[in-house]
Structure 1
Amino acid sequence: QCTLSYTDGTVLDTDTTLYGKWTVARGNLSVSKTVTGNAGDTSKAFNFTVTLGNTEINGVFGEMTFVGGVATFVLKHGESKTATGLPSGITYSVTEAEANRDGYTTVASKASGSIIKNDTVTVAFTNTKNSNISEGPDHPNVPSKPSTPTNSPETGDTLNLRLWTSVMGVSLAGLIISLVVVKKNSYRGKRMK
């Protein structure tokens, strides 16, 4: 049963039954993750969903398991997963959850397309997160401060010097007025006697 292949020129008789056998062309889909930036967490796991254009695809295909044409998995920095033996020509889309919500900027390459016969389509996700605070060279856990030229020693007092000068001026004016009033009253008191 189906042990002999038909080649052009094979002699057939009336008792011969021919069977057709078709093979589906296959291809692969690989998803990779890279985390960059001075605030990027390379130990964080990011959630991915691969959705195929055929909801009847079920089962394990390499490193991905599809249910109704959908596979979900997690990747960290430097990791990847590859689905092997997918029908070529089928469409796919790959999405990543929550990366942007966590302050990452995401760039994806080939996040949607079609599976290519006898080839591997590579979908690359790069998440970048930067912080404006840089660490000081002498104290890696303490943010560095931009240096500003100063002519006076730092006291840690960050209040405005003009405010204190104004308060002192108003107090001095009040003291002078008080002295003048007291002196005037004292002078009047002597004249009345």
Structure 2
Amino acid sequence: MKTRTRKTTRVLCASAIAMMTLLSSAAPAFAVAEADQKIYLVGGDDNSITFDKKIYANDGENAPDVNIKYKVDPRKVEDVTEPEKTALAKSGYDTVVTGKDGLKATDTTFTKDDSLDSGHDYFLRTSKIDASKLLDGLKRPTVFTYTLTEEVQGEQQKDFLPAVEGKGYTRKLNIYVGYKDANAEASKTLSVLYATLADEDGNKAVGFENNYDTQAIHLTKKVTGNQGDKTKKFTFTVNIANQYSKVTANGVTTNLDTTKLAPVDHNVSFTVDLANDETLNLTGLSKGATYTVTENKGTYNQAVTVDGASKEAVTDLAISDSADNVVFTNTKNGTIPTGIYLNHKLPFNIAGIAILGGAISLVAKKRHDALEEDDDE
């Protein structure tokens, strides 16, 4: 009985050790399943990693027409913080090395025809990093550490695509290479399992986030003066430079060709007719854009006032942080005809006629009296 009991005990112990070994070897794979998936960038079957790119915008706005690039730079292993190393070790990764050179991320491209992601207030795209070269010559599970940087092209784009406050344009990227399962470990087949991103402050992230900052112009026509024609349509030419998305027009759009509201080489140009008290609201203008509004002369020249200054055009104005209200006022005054002929000699003429009439009456009366006297004699 003792021999059989000892034999059974040995079998159970051996089984337990085998199970512990299996769990230990598969820990990195199980760690993905047990962790919050939102903070992991899961690798694909082609040993790639994808990450999100989000641009937040107001409802009804169009996406900016931009192409975003990224840099993947090896991060020195000594720059990996102790909390990071501790977290990695708990996931079964004791080996952390500086990333290999040559990794590239695909660009993220947005176009002016893109729509907001369903049910959200952002435009969403993904970018991919091919990490297959990390497997070359690798013998055991390893974490490769990098710095991933969003390259917003120039200060102009940074004006209207600022990073979400506190998020910045760089991320700490760790790419985990290990065994997908026990069979992979048995065959020593390593794969890119997943990756993590963290912002500059160490907060977990799934990609990069930017705001699309836009502005507006409100163009209003005013006609004043006792001879101002308030039914007349006045034609305006609007030119907008440094524009990266479609412009949205609300209000009066008489003869406005809306197909011209999409930028060509980041420029928008169109004409519009406005009568008295009509306003054209232009929204979705890229922050940092400049515009020129010119009123074409009508059939008669009138005094034109723009925001209180006498001029005929608003030239190269940068859109302010709040909406620009541009008011063109045309004023025409003149003498209003009454339909009565006025002559400054009229009073004298009337007086002369009255005097003449009186004289004729007096002469007639005297003649009449003289005739009566003759009759009496």
The answer on whether the counterparts of 1:52 and 1:92 sit within 8 Å (CA) in structure 2 is: yes
Aligned match of 2:306: 108
CA RMSD for the aligned pairs?
3.5
Aligned match of 1:151: 348
The answer on whether the counterparts of 2:233 and 2:273 sit within 8 Å (CA) in structure 1 is: yes
TM-score (norm 2): 0.33
CA distance in 1, matches of 2:304, 2:236: 13
Aligned match of 1:122: 325
Aligned match of 2:33: none
The answer on whether the counterparts of 2:246 and 2:284 sit within 8 Å (CA) in structure 1 is: no
Q: 1:79 aligns with which of 278, 283, 286?
A: 278
Per-residue deviation at 1:98? 1.7
The answer on whether the counterparts of 1:134 and 1:143 sit within 8 Å (CA) in structure 2 is: no
1:129–1:144: structure 2 CA closer, same or farther, 3 Å change rule?
A: farther
Letter in 1 for 2:350: P
* Greater Rg by CA: 2
Per-residue deviation at 1:62? 2.9
Structure 2: any 5+ residue segments left out of the alignment? 1-50, 55-163, 176-194, 198-205, 352-377
Deviation string, structure 1 residues 99-157 (Cα, Å, up to 9, x no partner): 3x51321111282411123x2101100001122x3233xxxxx2663755632239xxx
1:36–1:115: structure 2 CA closer, same or farther, 3 Å change rule?
A: same
1:144–1:2: structure 2 CA closer, same or farther, 3 Å change rule?
A: farther
Identity %: 26
Of stretches 105-114 and 142-151 in structure 1, the one that deviates more from structure 2 is 142-151
CA distance in 2, matches of 1:58, 1:143: 60
Instruction: Give aligned pairs, total.
Output: 145
1:16 aligns with 2:196: yes
CA distance in 2, matches of 1:74, 1:57: 25
Aligned match of 1:172: none
Secondary structure at 2:281 match in 1: strand
Letter in 1 for 2:288: G
Higher strand share: 2
1:33–1:7: structure 2 CA closer, same or farther, 3 Å change rule?
A: closer
Secondary structure at 1:152 match in 2: helix
CA distance in 1, matches of 2:219, 2:331: 17
1:82–1:3: structure 2 CA closer, same or farther, 3 Å change rule?
A: closer
Aligned match of 1:185: none
1:60–1:43: structure 2 CA closer, same or farther, 3 Å change rule?
A: same
The answer on whether the counterparts of 1:62 and 1:85 sit within 8 Å (CA) in structure 2 is: no
Runs of 4 or more above 4 Å deviation: 3-8, 146-149
Q: Pick 1 or 2: higher relative contact order, CA cutoff 8 A, min separation 6.
A: 1
Aligned match of 1:2: 52
Q: 1:92 aligns with which of 280, 291, 294?
A: 291
Aligned match of 1:134: 336
- For residues 32-51 of structure 1, the aligned pairs below 5 Å read 32-51=220-239
Secondary structure at 2:301 match in 1: coil
1:144–1:116: structure 2 CA closer, same or farther, 3 Å change rule?
A: farther
